[in-house]
């Protein structure tokens, strides 16, 4: 197959340095520090789009007036971020960076903005929302700025009110519509999120971010066919953009088009412009696709590659489940235990359910009972809770005999 080197449309990965704090690791927060192209500190707040690998949707935040934004240090698992800072068209160019925050270890990610050059327009006439906001009146911009400051402080209700006010003052305020949708995404109010993205798209169907975000929102709702219909043309216009490929690949998985999803993941892995955590995510996604196709041995290979790059709870969980399909219960147990160790009951409770199934098959009834009980403790509202309670009762009865 011919190799295709993906282009990120002029976006260059910024220099990122992770500096462990020298003091009180367990107490200090983490931070993101932005530097100007000349190495200086910004003299105003900078608008930043953060994409976490554990949520899959963007979050709009503003730094303080010195270019710093504080992040909560992860408590249960490592979190990878993709940072996008759009050009202000005056002092710096659009910058994309990748960084990771390890659980329990406060860090500061330093991002140096790219020098300003001639910003290219999107491919095939694709527009960025920022290009359409030049006519926004001053009072609407003020409401928007205050709303974004509220977002940075976690005051989402205030932010929603501010963005709605900005939109009422200027109904074609695309950035405000898009960012209002992003807030609703963060709050898991996917229908409201989709509604705002649709309004932004109605202003001009070529806008990039609202279209991408609408596809993500639809996938979050399980409306994969609609997501494919939104993302397919965006993918055709933006073959090389990583975020488009990942969103489209997930939507294709959702509708069961595993062949096309596999093609996207494999071709994306050929890119020379990926950070290690992005490569790990692609190997994981490919492993999921291969598992669903019943190609379990190939899936194991991809999942092992993902784990070699990033020791994540989800990769160990998926590998354990795949090894169960191959009847390799010893290895599966090891992977599932590691998954639970990394992620805990809040994120990978199902690992205990899988362990219970393994122990049951091995006639280790006491271990099975404990695993199932831990699963229900972590997920008391699990959809299979009634059947698990029944199984636990049977295990207790069996052990009395």
With the CA atoms of 353, 359, 361 and 366 taken in that order, what torsion angle do they form, in degrees rounded to the nearest 10?
A: -110
Rounded distance, CA 379 to CA 374, Å?
Answer: 8
Q: What is the pLDDT along the chain (401 residues), one digit of tens a residue?
A: 333 333 333 333 333 333 333 333 334 578 899 999 888 888 888 888 888 876 666 777 888 888 888 888 887 777 888 888 888 777 888 888 888 888 778 888 889 998 887 444 444 445 555 555 668 899 998 998 888 888 877 789 999 999 999 999 999 998 899 989 989 988 999 999 999 999 999 988 878 889 999 999 999 999 999 999 999 999 988 777 788 888 999 999 999 999 999 999 999 999 877 878 889 989 999 999 999 999 999 999 999 999 999 899 999 999 999 999 999 999 999 999 999 999 877 779 999 999 999 999 999 999 999 999 999 999 999 999 999 999 999 999 988 87
Q: How far apart are CA 58 and CA 81, in angstroms?
A: 10
SS3 annotation, the chain: CCCCCCCCCCCCECCEEEEECCCCCCCCCEEEEEECCCCCCCCCCCEEEEEECCCCCEEEEECCCCCEEEECCCCCCCEEEEEEECCCCCCEECEEEEEEECCCCCEEEEEECEECCCCCCCHHHCECHHHHCCCCCHHHHHHHHHHHHHHHCCCHHHHHHHHHHHHHHCCCCHHHHHHHHHHHHHCCCHHHHHHHHHHHHHHCCCEHHHHHHHHHHHHHCCCHHHHHHHHHHHHHHCCCCHHHHHHHHHHHHHHCCHHHHHHHHHHHHCCCCCCHHHHHHHHHHHHHHHHHCCCHHHHHHHHHHHHHHCCCHHHHHHHHHHHHHCCCHHHHHHHHHHHHHHHHHHHHCHHHHHHHHHHHHCCCHHHHHHHHHHHHHHCCCCCCHHHHHHHHHHHHHHHHC
User: Can you give the pLDDT at residue 9?
Assistant: 32
What is the predicted pLDDT for the residue at 56?
62
Cβ atoms of 110 and 35 closer than 8 Å: yes
All structural domains of the chain? 11-116 (2.60.40.1120), 121-241+250-255 (1.25.40.10), 295-400 (1.25.40.10)
Q: What is the pLDDT of residue 14?
A: 37
Between the CA of residue 153 and those of 46, 58, 70, 334, what are the distances in Å? 14, 16, 10, 41
pLDDT of residue 204: 80
In sequence order, the β-bridge partners of residue 322 are none
| Other CB atoms within 10 Å distance of the CB of residue 156 | 15
- The pLDDT assigned to 131 comes to 55
Nearest to 289, CA basis, from 269, 312, 272: 269
pLDDT of residue 123: 47
- The residues, ordered by sequence, that sit 6+ positions from 209 with a Cβ below 8 Å of its Cβ are 58, 128, 129, 178
């Amino acid at each position: 197959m011919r190799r295709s080197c993906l282009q990120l449309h002029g976006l260059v990965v910024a220099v990122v340095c992770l500096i462990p704090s020298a003091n009180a690791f367990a107490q200090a927060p983490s931070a993101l520090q932005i530097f100007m192209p000349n190495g200086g500190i910004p003299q105003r707040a900078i608008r930043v789009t953060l994409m976490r690998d554990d949520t899959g949707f963007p979050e709009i935040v503003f730094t303080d007036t010195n270019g710093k934004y504080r992040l909560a240090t992860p408590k249960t698992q490592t979190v990878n971020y993709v940072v996008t800072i759009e050009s202000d068209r005056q002092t710096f160019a659009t910058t994309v960076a990748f960084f990771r925050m390890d659980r329990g270890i406060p860090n500061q990610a330093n991002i140096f903005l790219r020098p300003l050059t001639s910003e290219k327009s999107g491919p095939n006439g694709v527009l960025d929302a920022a290009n359409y906001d030049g006519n926004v009146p001053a009072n609407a911009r003020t409401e928007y700025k205050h709303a974004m400051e509220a977002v940075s402080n976690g005051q989402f209700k205030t932010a929603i009110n501010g963005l709605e006010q900005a939109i009422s003052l200027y109904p074609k305020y695309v950035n405000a519509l898009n960012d209002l949708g992003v807030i609703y995404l963060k709050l898991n109010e996917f229908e409201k999120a989709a509604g705002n993205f649709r309004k932004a798209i109605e202003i001009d169907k070529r806008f990039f971010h609202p279209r991408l975000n609408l596809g993500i929102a639809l996938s979050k709702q399980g409306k994969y066919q609609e997501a494919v219909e939104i993302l397919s043309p965006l993918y055709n216009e933006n073959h090389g953009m990583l975020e488009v490929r990942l969103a489209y690949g997930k939507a294709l998985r959702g509708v069961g088009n595993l062949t096309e999803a596999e093609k996207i993941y494999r071709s994306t892995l050929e890119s020379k412009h990926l950070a290690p955590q992005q490569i790990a995510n692609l190997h994981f996604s490919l492993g999921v696709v291969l598992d669903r196709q019943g190609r379990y041995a190939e899936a194991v290979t991809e999942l092992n590659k993902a784990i070699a790059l990033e020791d994540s709870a989800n990769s160990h969980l998926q590998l354990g489940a795949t090894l169960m399909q191959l009847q390799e219960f010893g290895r599966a147990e090891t992977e599932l235990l590691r998954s639970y160790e990394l992620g805990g009951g809040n994120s990978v409770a199902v690992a205990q359910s899988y362990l219970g199934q393994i122990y049951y098959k091995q006639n280790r009834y006491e271990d099975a009972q404990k695993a199932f009980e831990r699963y229900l403790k972590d997920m008391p509202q699990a959809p299979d809770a009634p059947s698990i309670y029944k199984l636990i009762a049977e295990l207790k009865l069996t052990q009395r005999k």
